[in-house]
Structures are given as C-alpha cells and as structure tokens.
Amino acid sequence: MSMNSWMMLRSIEQSDKVAKHRLSRGTTKRIVQFARPYRADITVFLITVVIDAVIGVATPVLAGRVVNAITGGGSGAAALVVKIALVIAALAVADSLLSLAQRWYSARIGEGIIFDLRTKVYDHVQRMPLQFFTRTQTGALVSRLNNDVLGAQRAFTSTLSGVVSNTIQLALTAAVMFSLSWQITALSLALLPLFIYPARRVGKKLAEITRESYNLEAQMNATMTERFNVSGALLVKLFGRPRAEAAKFGERADRVRDIGIQQAMYSRTFFVAMLLVASLAQALTYGLGGWLAVTGSVTAGTVVTLALLLTRLYGPLTALSNVRVDVMSALVSFDRVFEVLDLKPGIEDKPDAVDIPSGAGRVEFRDVHFRYPSADEVSLATLEDVVALDRKENAPVLHGVDFTVEPGQMVALVGPSGAGKSTTSMLVSRLYDVTEGAVLVDGIDVRDATLESLRDAIGVVTQDSHLFHETIAENLRYARPGATDDQMWEALAGAQIADLVRGLPDGLDTVVGERGYRFSGGEKQRIAIARLLLKHPSIVIMDEATAHLDSESEAAVQRALTTALEGRTALVIAHRLSTIRNADQILVMDQGRVVERGTHDDLVAAEGLYAELYHTQFAVTSSDTPYREENVEIVTVPAGPVEP
C-alpha cells in the first residue's frame, strides 16, 4: 500500500506540469508502433500481472474460509483447514514465481526501450547541424537522453502494469466485498474522500517546493559544470574568488537542505494520513463486522476476509484516481523524445549520393550565397529554455562568392572580422549547405556527395583543437580507427611531437585530460595536426592554428604545418597577413563578398583593402615587437568538434 500511495503522491506533484503540456498529434500511434517489437513480451507481462492480481484477491478469501472452518468445528474441519492452508501456500509460491517473471519481462521491456530510444536520439543528435549545438543547452539535451527516456520507459512497465493490475484488483476486490457485505464495504469506502482531498493539498504544496528544489539543483549543477572544468577553475583562482564562490554555492545548498526537510515532513504526513485512514477503515470493518457476526448476519470468516481485502482496496483506488496523470506523464515523456527525433538533421546524404574520388583535391565555389538557418529551423524552445523560438529569417552572410583552388595550391582567405571567411570554409566540409550556388570538390557538388567520402577528403585544424578525455592513441585513432602504432608514431613525427610523447611514462597511452589541458597549447595543436596527418586528406582547411601560441610553440606548430600542407590543397584563413605572403592566391573578403584577389605583391601594389590591412598590421607590429614574417598562420572551419 505504501508503494501505491507514493505513486499517487508523485502523480499529484506532476499534475500541473502535465496539464500544461500539449501532446503532438499522433503521439499515441507512434508509441504503439515503437512498442511493436516488444508486443510478445508485453502480452506475457500483462498476463502475469492479471494472474498476480487474482491471487491477491483469492488469498484473503481463503483466509476467511480458514476462520470459518475453525469456528464452525466438525469432524472434517481440521482436514479442511490443512487443505486451504496448502492452497494458500501454493498461491504464495506461485505469486513469488510470478513476481520474478514480472520483473524479468519488465526489465527486458524497459531496458530494451531505453536502449532503443537512447541510441536513436544519440544517433539523431549527432547528425544535427552545427548551429543546433551552438543554441542548445547541453544539460537540457542530456536530460532528454536520461530523464525523458526513463519516463517513456515507465509507460510500458510501471504505468501499464499499474493500470492493468489496479483495475483488475479493484474490480475483483470490490465485487467480492460487496457480495460478502455491502453495508461493511460502503462504510469502509466512506472514509476515502477524507484521505484524497488532504492528500491533494499536500501534493500541491510538495510540488511547489519540489519545483524550487529542481531549479536550485539545476543552478548548482550548472555552476559546478562551469567552475569544475579547467577554464572555469583557472578563472576562479586567477581572480581570487574561491570564498565568494563557496558562499554563493552555500546559499543555494542551504535552501535545498531546508526544502529536503520540508519534503521529508510532507511525505511523512502523507503516508501517516494514508495509514491512519486505512487503519480507521479497518477499525470500522472490525466494529461493524464484529457486531454483524455476533448478531449472526455474517460469519467471523467474512469479517476477516473483508478486513484483509480492505487493505487491497485503498491502494488501487488511490492509484487509479490519478491514472490520467500517470498516463499523461508517460505520454509527455515520449512526446519530448519525439520532439528531438522530429528535428530535421539538415545535412543528409541524398539517396543517389556518390563518393568523391580520392586524389586531386580541387575546390570550386560557384556564385555561392548563404544565410544561417533561423532558430526555428534547427532548434527547440525547450532545449534553449525560451518561451518561443525566433522565426525571423537571418540576413545573408555570403553574396556571390566565386573562386577555385586547384590541386596542390594554397589559397588564403583574409579580411576584417565578420567578413565571412570562416563561413566560407565551413561550406567546403558541408557543415552547412549553400543557400544558392554550389560548392564543388573534384567536380562533384558537395550536396551530391556522400558525407563519409567528403569527410575522408577534408582535414581540419581549428584555432582551439579539441581532444577527448582519452589517451593520445584513442584521440589519434578517431581519425583512422584501424591505425597501427607505427602509423601513429609516423604521424606524431610529422607533427614534430613524437619525441615529447616518447618521453612520457605511458607514451601513446597517456590520458590527455579534459579537452587536452594536460598539454600546452602548442603540444595540443601538434597532436591535432598528427591526427590530421594520420587521416591523410587531400584537402586541408586551417583556422588560426597558431593564434594563441607563444613564439616557441608557434615555431614548432609551423614546422608541423609545413609537413601537413605538403602536396595538399590548402584553404587557409589567416589573421597575420605576413603568414600567407607565399600563397598561390589571396582572396580578400569584406561583408560576405570577395572584393580583391591576387598574390601578396599584386594586392599590396593595388593599394586596396588588403594593402590597408597589411600596412595597418605592419605598423602595429613594428611599433610593439618585430614582426616575424617566417610565421605561417592558418585556419579552418571553426566548427566545434569538426575535426576527424
């Protein structure tokens, strides 16, 4: 009975939240289709639930007969009592076996559904466009894979079994009780409203403080996530704020502690009320039943049966009084999961997509226009924690961009911030699709190519290359899963970092730490370049790979880049103009257009935007520190975890 009362309390807590959620059309139909692979298991599971409910009602009836046999006496009374006791024992054994069977099928169905939902959502999210990740709250997305998936799983275990079991048990119990004595049954049920109304009041109050607790815990989790990563911890230490941070965190934790005490008391009050009402109902049953038994209206066994059945009546009644909320809660969980699955990935293979042939590495832009997708095209309001998404169409970023990078050439993209350089590079690896025009790799429109072959042909090194919290070997094999140790050492040597890795106690098995923070910026960049060399792409896109490095690290990375670019087509986004003086072609971009193109000497002589940028930069660098023209800075599509 305590479990049923807890389920009712949980339903009351969720009632407001569930009532405000509008289900999408066809949710129920999709759930049925989703459960189809488990229909045999669900059928067997429900059969065990039904049999278990029947046993639950049969046992009190048999107990009453034992009492009647004892009080009735007679020559065959002893044998009858033994027989009934043996039947009760057999039912107890059967009930235990059914309980194990229910748990087996419940786990099989529930864990299977969790596996299916999580893998589907995870795979789908991986295919979402980059802008989806820039807009979405990571915690909200993870919640869909955890809390909502578990809520959906309960639809086929707790909710479904509870509804079936409670309905059958309530119907059988009520029927038997009314058949034995309608007077006692009616009097016992008269106390039920005295419990349900206060329970709802308690539940609503508990829901309020629970929501506050969830919000505070979410804030604490967000704080811990930000402060416990390397960058956040460093900022706290540099600004000397540990005490202030601890005090701020302590205020929230203190309120959570107070709420925990209130929750404990409200919950205990609820359970005490439940037990009190049930005990009072039993007292009435024994009182009225005993009086009727003394007067000869009913037997003593009937009174015992009614008292035992009463304990099996209140639980189902209270649970079924909130069955709509339980069912809606499960449907809402499914609906929130389907919300994510219904988001269009945006970048997908066409049915007739072709592979890009390995080799050449020719890149061509043909009258390319591009605007970033609007929020409602790539995201959900619930994942951004906003009331509604912005439906306004974004302004165009690129306007008629035309250029060609021949195999083996290095073409540099330069220009002021916001000119569209990084956006242009993203279109090559198809992190986004053009709005108008076409981007071709080796003569094939990237939209007509398979994503796998496109990723194989293109390698990227970003300004802040990301390393997973795994070993060096695992980070390298992310580009080439089947790579041997010899191949990895060769790539590390080409990236000018093999000696450093050999000097580590664990060598290739060294764990790099969160985001690679166990290594310096230059070391991390060289590991990323080794990863690119191991991939062996025909096209390399670089994005300010040395922007934040000291002179010594920058020189080491530049040597590694020389190896990485050798014999490959290179698209370079450069901030320091001296680093791309030897580029085969320099494209000067401004406000989404290519406004100048040519070699370094030609563009300086033309005295246009490039010359202005170059002279301004030269003046700044020469007034501070000598400008190092031998440095070669390169960049790639800044696309988060874009690298192979």
The range of the structural domain enclosing residue 463 comes to 363-635
Same domain for 38 and 94? yes
Same domain for 293 and 391? no
Give the residue from 245, 265, 143, 589 showing the smallest Cα distance to 400.
Answer: 589
The tokens for 370 are 């591009």
3-state class (DSSP) for residue 40: helix
Which pLDDT does position 595 carry in this prediction?
92
CATH number at residue 566: 3.40.50.300
Classify residue 627: in a domain, yes or no.
yes
Walking along the chain (644 residues) 10 residues at a time, the average pLDDT comes out as 46 48 67 83 87 86 85 79 90 91 85 84 83 75 74 73 80 84 79 67 66 66 68 67 77 80 75 74 80 82 83 73 67 79 82 84 92 78 66 84 90 88 88 91 91 87 80 89 90 86 89 74 83 87 68 69 79 77 88 90 88 76 41 35 33
Same domain for 378 and 334? no
Rounded to whole angstroms, how far apart are CA atoms 214 and 13?
12
CB 596 within 8 Å of CB 519: no
Which pLDDT does position 19 carry in this prediction?
47
Which pLDDT does position 622 carry in this prediction?
46
Classify residue 229: in a domain, yes or no.
yes
CATH number at residue 114: 1.20.1560.10
Same domain for 333 and 384? no
Classify residue 346: in a domain, yes or no.
no
Same domain for 281 and 234? yes
Helix (H) / strand (E) element for 412: namely strand 410-414
Which pLDDT does position 627 carry in this prediction?
35
Q: Are strands 396-405 and 363-371 parallel, antiparallel or unpaired?
A: antiparallel
Rounded to whole angstroms, how far apart are CA atoms 58 and 510?
64
Which pLDDT does position 388 carry in this prediction?
64
Give the residue from 521, 644, 507, 531 showing the smallest Cα distance to 230.
Answer: 521
Same domain for 141 and 49? yes
Partners of residue 365 on adjacent β-strands: 403, 439
Same domain for 308 and 409? no
CB 580 within 8 Å of CB 588: no
* Cα angle 4, 8, 12; round to 5: 170
232: amino acid identity, one letter: G
Same domain for 268 and 221? yes
Rounded to whole angstroms, how far apart are CA atoms 438 and 456?
20
Same domain for 603 and 500? yes
Q: Is pTM, for the whole model, over 0.85?
A: no
Which pLDDT does position 159 carry in this prediction?
75
Which pLDDT does position 630 carry in this prediction?
37
Same domain for 296 and 264? yes
Rounded to whole angstroms, how far apart are CA atoms 458 and 570?
10
Which pLDDT does position 313 carry in this prediction?
76
Rounded to whole angstroms, how far apart are CA atoms 471 and 516?
10
DSSP-derived letter for residue 468 is -
Which pLDDT does position 363 carry in this prediction?
92
- Given phi > 0 = left and psi -120 to 50 = alpha, else beta, which region is 442? left
Same domain for 337 and 368? no
Classify residue 451: in a domain, yes or no.
yes
Query: What values do phi and psi take at 548, rounded to 5?
Result: -115, 25
Which pLDDT does position 8 carry in this prediction?
46
The tokens for 298 are 């009913």
Same domain for 238 and 118? yes
Rounded to whole angstroms, how far apart are CA atoms 312 and 289?
18
Distance of CA 216 to the CA centre of its chain: 20
Rounded to whole angstroms, how far apart are CA atoms 330 and 10?
13
Which of 295, 310, 341 is the C-terminal boundary of a domain? 341
Rounded to whole angstroms, how far apart are CA atoms 81 and 62?
10
* Tally of domains within the chain: 2
